[in-house]
Amino acid sequence: MSSATAPQPTLDERPVTSLRGVGPALAATLAKLGLHTVQDLLFHLPLRYEDRTRVVPIGSLRHGDRAVIEGEVQLSEVAFRGRRVLLCRLADGSGYITLRFFHFSGAQQAALSRGTRLRCFGEARPGPAGLEIVHPEYRRVIAGVTPPADESLTPVYPTTEGVQQGRMRVLTDLALAQLADGGLRDWVAPDVLAAARMTSLEAALRYVHRPPPSADLELLNAGRHPAQRRLAFEELLAHQISLRLLREAADEDAAWPLPACSDLVARCLGELGFELTGAQQRAWAEIAADLERDRPMMRLVQGDVGSGKTVVAALAALRAVENGAQAAVMAPTELLAEQHARNFHGWLEPLGIRAGLLTGRHTGRARRALEQDLASGAIQVAIGTHALFQEGVEFARLGLVIVDEQHRFGVHQRVRLREKGLAEGRYPHQLVMTATPIPRTLAMTAYADLDVSVIDELPPGRTPVRTVVLPETRRVEIVQRIEAACQSGRQAYWVCPLIDESDSVRQQAAEETAETLAAALPGVRIGLVHGRMPGRRKDEVMTAFKQGSIDLLVATTVIEVGVDVPNASLMVIENAERMGLAQLHQLRGRVGRGSVESSCVLLYQSPLAPIARQRLAVLRDTNDGFEVARRDLELRGPGELLGTRQTGLMQLRVADLLRDSDLLPEVQQAAALMLRGPRSNMEALLRRWVGQGERFGKV
């Protein structure tokens, strides 16, 4: 009796060691690139492509050309230019070029002797004696015998030390050879692919790894070829489904309904001293409607700097309190948490509501007392950093979680705080906020698990900030301008350069700047604040600035968030070319909070790099945070805009949210179709593109 043939493992089950020539050492090196299986190799796509399918005349080369050339070595010598250099002159009748080798052996020198015929590939660049190629790829050829040309464009892969391009191409050849046995499933349903007019996965992978000589090289290097778009579509689809599943799972959960049941919100609004803007009222109405449901609210509120998101969040917290529940407000930094604590204390304490602050600074007896008050419900509104969801912190009945500056947290961190509120089978409502406005196409992809409210209106009386961009050489004029502003009763900020990530270096830069300005401005009261100051001292300086007893506040970027001083009308930012658009816009938002026209001066060191020049021009031309965000997306890409370096959120391998934004409507339609199909297909798709991290909660 013959036994049934065992099924072949799929490509995501076959380790790279199943490929010929891959032993434990190479497998360990490939693991550094995240390549563990044959499938991983297939989805490790080229960064760019080179055309090595034709030989070009040496005489036609121009600076920057990457090309295949063929010729005879006319001269070969070792020269000394501070170090030993092997120089070979290669000619083909149309011209000549120098091949330069800084690293070479005696055998290599002998192999490149005069009269040898070579076929080379490399980038032509100017040298002392005309064009040259440094360390070209080359092979010897026989005169009169034409070696076969490459059958496809040559892919250039992301690599790591120990894996050269040639080895990577051999490995992908081996992986592509296994495609034909059906070991790679196309998890996207045929009707979904047909609706989106997409080719099969196998065809797309074969094309992107080995494009034919006739392929459009420009289109490929731009990432816009239909085969690349097929893979980008699938990756975006996987991320969209993952977030939809997260939302779907949350919608199946129960929450404490938080309807209006007292006059707390009305009393708070009556004591604010100002009217909510129309945009704030609209956002609050959307939040209030969500809170009345017995399903957890999952809403993002985005608005520009100073648009009044925190007040709306405070109203939501009051709605939790009046229903006998607690609210937790999580901020990414201690400084922002402290600022929120000051605001919430000011708004809530007159109403008899206790707010408490919990950060990493709280230790020992003070921390234990705070934890006890949270667990008993004595603290009704908790404000803090990620310390709020650490082990040992318990809530009596957490009804609402508010997360500020959402892009600085990963989705999984938000999920952890949500899980902490699980009680009696019910989850807290979630409200997340960001002062980094996100373009619609990006928000609909990155935050597909959230409903979105936009506060796109600044409070009345705000005047646009006038932004000027000046070279460091005009520093003396700026100092004089500060003196004039302070003498007229206004206040100013001076933000020190962000030289590196070291707090000690930032502190030193701030202290030196404060000393220099104090010498230049003897009649101006100068304060200093930086990240390494004790929290109490920092609060004292900021309070003094807010009360007007300090004229000029010298600071590091810690003031990006936290201070609201309507009398401050001038902001100077040194070395602005080193900072990103979002951070510059946040800093600029510290002025323009009163009725007097305010200015922001962006000082830069010459010469300006082209990308820095574009960034500063954006700030000069617009105050609209949404326009700044759109340009930031163009200049930096979605990774930095969303803060993925810190969070791991939306780390796309193939897709580019800006370049492929036109795919998003089809991606959303495809996600809706897939969600009605077999769950096993979706789970396999997520494993391929997203992994199984904790960020998807219970999915």
Q: What is the pLDDT of residues 533-587, one digit of tens each?
A: 776 787 788 878 888 999 999 988 766 555 678 889 999 999 888 887 878 888 8
Say if pTM beats, i.e. exceeds, 0.85: no
Contact between residue 104 and residue 126 where contact means Cβ atoms under 8 Å apart:
no
Strands 298-303 and 451-455: parallel
The residue type at 301: V
- Binned at pLDDT 50, 70 and 90, residue 1 comes out as very low
Residue 203 pLDDT more than 50?
yes
Q: Do 223-462+655-699 and 466-622 show the same overall fold? A: yes
Average pLDDT of 84-109? 91
**In whole angstroms, what is the distance from residue 420 CA to residue 296 CA?**
14
Average pLDDT over every residue of 43-51: 88
Other CB atoms closer than 10 Å to residue 296's CB: what's the count? 25
56: pLDDT strictly greater than 70: yes
pLDDT of 2 > 50? The answer is: no
Which residue has 């961009």 as its token pair?
Answer: 469
Residue % of the chain over a pLDDT of 90: 36
If you average pLDDT over every residue of the chain, what do you get? 84
CB 131 within 8 A of CB 67: no
**Beta pairing partners, 48:** 156
Residue 500 confidence (pLDDT): 43
Binning pLDDT at 50, 70 and 90, where does residue 696 land? very low
What burial letters (b/e) apply to 358-381, b meaning 16+ CB within 10 Å? bbebbeeeebeebbebbeeeebbb
The answer to whether 590 and 568 are in contact (CB under 8 A) is yes
Distance CA 338, CA 44 (A): 44
- Distance separating alpha carbons of residues 105 and 293, to the nearest angstrom: 75
pLDDT in tens, 636-675: 655 444 443 333 345 677 887 778 878 888 888 888 888 8
- Give percent of the chain with pLDDT exceeding 70: 88
Q: Give the residues across from 391 on adjacent strands.
A: none
* Domain spans of the chain, in order of start: 16-49+155-222, 55-148, 223-462+655-699, 466-622
Q: Give the ranges where 253-363 is alpha helix by DSSP (H).
A: 264-271, 278-291, 309-321, 334-348
Contact 532, 502 (CB under 8 A): no
Class of domain 223-462+655-699: alpha beta
Question: What is the pairing mode between strands 130-134 and 125-127?
Answer: antiparallel
The larger pLDDT score, comparing residue 687 to residue 383, is at 383
Residue-level pLDDT at 641? 42
Q: Region 506-510: what's the mean pLDDT?
A: 65
CATH of domain 466-622: 3.40.50.300
What is the pLDDT confidence band of residue 497, given thresholds at 50, 70 and 90? low
Which pLDDT does position 505 carry in this prediction? 52
Range picked from 353-357, 364-368, 463-467 for highest mean pLDDT:
353-357
**pLDDT of the residue at 501:** 46
Question: What's the pLDDT score for residue 563?
Answer: 62
The CATH superfamily of 55-148 is Nucleic acid-binding proteins (2.40.50.140)
* CA dist 187 → 165, 201, 599, 679 (Å): 30, 9, 55, 11
More confident residue, 182 or 675: 675
Query: pLDDT tens-digit profile of 256-304?
Result: 999 998 889 999 999 887 889 999 999 999 999 999 999 999 898 988 7
pLDDT at position 480 is 93
Of 320-324, 332-336, 598-602, the range with the lowest mean pLDDT is: 332-336
pLDDT digits (tens, 9 = 90+) for 455-495: 888 777 677 889 999 998 999 999 999 999 999 999 999 99
CA dist., res. 584 & res. 593, Å (int): 16
> Average pLDDT in the 679-690 region?
84
Output the six-digit token pair for 361.
């600074």
* Contact call for residues 78 and 109 (beta carbons, < 8 A): yes
| Rounded mean pLDDT, 122-141 | 89
| pLDDT band for position 695 (cuts 50, 70, 90) | very low
Q: Is 50 exceeded by the pLDDT of residue 358?
A: yes
Mean pLDDT of 511-520: 89
